Structure 1
Amino acid sequence: MLQVSYIRENRDHVLERLAVKNFKQPELVDEVIKLDEQRRQTQGVVDDLKAQGNASAKQIGHLMMTGKKEEADALKAQSSGWKEEIKTLEEQYSKIEEELNQKLVTLPNLPHSSVPKGFVAEDNEVVLENGQKPDLYAGALPHWELAAKYKLIDFELGVKITGAGFPVYTGKGAKLQRALIAFFLDEAEKAGYDEMMLPLVVNEASGFGTGQLPDKEGQMYYIGEDKLYLIPTAEVPITNLYRDVILKADELPVKNCGYTACFRREAGSYGAHVRGLNRLHQFDKVEIVQVVQPETSYNVLEEMSTHVQSLLQKLGLPYRVLRLCGGDMSFGSALTYDMETWSAAQQRWLEVSSVSNFETFQSNRLKLRFRNAEGKTQLAHTLNGSALALPRIVATLLENNQTERGIKIPDILVPYTKFEWID
């Protein structure tokens, strides 16, 4: 959530950066500023009346002590009127503040100055490309056909049990999943991240804290009776570990990672681009999260991007890094890098990770602060990234490593899978 003081003091800059994100309601900025002015004016009147009331109370006591009862009674009557006025003003203040917050939470985060303008994915900036795209043998198959051929994933059984987008992994397919999760967690540990085992459901306050609510309410599975949400990513429970927390400066950076299942109610569509593992409602992912001091956050973002790239390099997957344009960024992000792997059988790039800096957008909602060297509290910066999401990693591993004999497992995974081939 943007800070009201920043909006008030930097109106033109806020409007200019929101335009980069193609925000369609710029009038909300002036409405927020107007409501903030009303709130501050109302608070000023309340403070003045309370000050007068406190002074009157002392004066009344002095008048009573000196036997001036009539003057004391008159001042009491006047003070009673002030109390009623204060009560009315405080009610007005609450209504103004509620309206202000309702408008404030609809404003997305401001994109970083390096974010390119654009409306759709095609406007994203390619930062780098790494690795050679494999040439497959004649008759190579897409991953959903490989999964059926080698009995790795049963999509139809998932439909029977739950519905589309909930696959069942079997045999070596299940072992490959487990191997990737263990590998990603081990690599995160080597990079200094502390592992967390996390709830798969969160309350509304947690969803609000990281910006999923109210922006992505329609994409989350909701448990109505308990008013809980299935998590769309481990980012939500991990980051909310620090909601309403004041950290010490020497406790930063906080580095956490966690493996969870993730659940997303995305709008359905048809075609090869969503077949198989390309888009699921339930999938596994290892997430990395950092809480850092503001002046270090963009260096940390590069560090996190490098970590994710190292995983792709160790798996031998060709990939590219994109800097997302304003129109393709998430609601809360200030700068996002997407990592995409090349799907040799599908002949297209598949997104496998997003790494984002949220600056103070999440921490302002979370009231996540740290005490700086001067002893003052200030908002921390939060960052997170997929390291990695499994479905499209599995898809590209199967497709890119297929041979006429079978599917060759990357060397780095063999100690985890305990097998070298799927055949």
Structure 2
Amino acid sequence: MVETVIVKKFPIKLTVAGEDINAVLSISFRFVEIRNSQDSSVTASQNHTMADSSTTEEYQIDSDDSVNFNSDESPKKETDPDQVKRGRFFSWKRRRLSFFMGRKKVKPSTAAVDVDVEPFSGGNNDGEWELKEFVSRDNKTILTSPVFLSSFDQCSEKAAGESACTALVTVISNWLHSHPKETPTKSQFDTLIIEGSSEWRKLCSREDLINQFPDKHFDMETVLGAGLRPVGVCREKSFVGFFGAEKFDCLKGFGMSFDDIWDKISENEESSIYIVSWNDHFFVLKVEKDVYYIIDTLGERLYEGCNQAFILRFDESSSVHRKVVKDDEDDEEDSTTDEDEDEEDSDDEEDERKEIVCRGGKESCKEFLKKFLAAIPLEELENEERKKAVPYLALHQRLQIEFDLTLPIIQS
């Protein structure tokens, strides 16, 4: 006999004593397949205790249906206060979506143009940091920051790790914990990508995991549970929230805003290593007192057409500028005389095309995540919200971001 358990979860709002409370309604369906000697089968609801020899398969289905209940009318239900508080019942790590990370099917999170390349000393033995300029995909923001590139990324034939990002961030996090004062050299970075991709392919050979994840895009619980490396997650110091949470009524009180999360992360002066989940992809954020690193094994995340894994270093040399549109300067242009315009040289005109947003590691890294990753989906959803309320699931899929603090596991 094989028992199948299907769990369907609904976000609900309860009205208790006149106050609205966010909660989760969990409904479990159990089915059992019984085979006779002629291999015929009958599927029936399972309402009795199963024998010890039976096998159980569990599936979780997240629903985008929102349900409102009054406390006097609501049926019996189970609510988890910690889940409500943390908003993890729609966690990306628990969703089973069919996203293929291959080169042709990935919609890049950012597009960038790199100019003004110059060597930058960053301490890597077999490669150089370069101070480069990147333009956000919406063409409104410019990042200038040191970057370090691997020889290839996870989608290359050499790595063969198209959907290996969860295994890769686990392997990279373990290396960073083992080398607390270092960033990988180019050859080390290449090796980590190969190792992580190899670990992912081993997981792909397990029939139980492929039955659970047919797209081979494993969640973090599965990879950490597989014990690829001695790395764990500290839930008490991990965060889940949304870009632009304050802009949507249904997100207010339903999770932290990105800005609130960033304040929590940056107030800790100790070195910390986070696995970040956004848009069904995982990358690593290393936080130090004055320097922040983003380590990503998918080149397309840096700019369209990039096929090399990268490390972005945010430090005192980093800066973010906003492109200035001509309409923003109409008052100043009206007051400028022809004589003044003749005196302006090309350098002055170039400077007038952009204005500083921030400088330094912490703020530049924050603005990169907001303006390079989330700017386009946030603007699109804001436009939709003006026409009609955007469903929570759509906001969750496109705006939710998670920061899981990793810790080394001491092995006896």
Which of the two has higher C-alpha Rg?
A: 1
Query: After TM superposition, is the score higher than 0.5?
Result: no
Q: Give the structure with the larger helix fraction.
A: 1
TM-score normalised by L of structure 2: 0.23
TM-score normalised by L of structure 1: 0.23
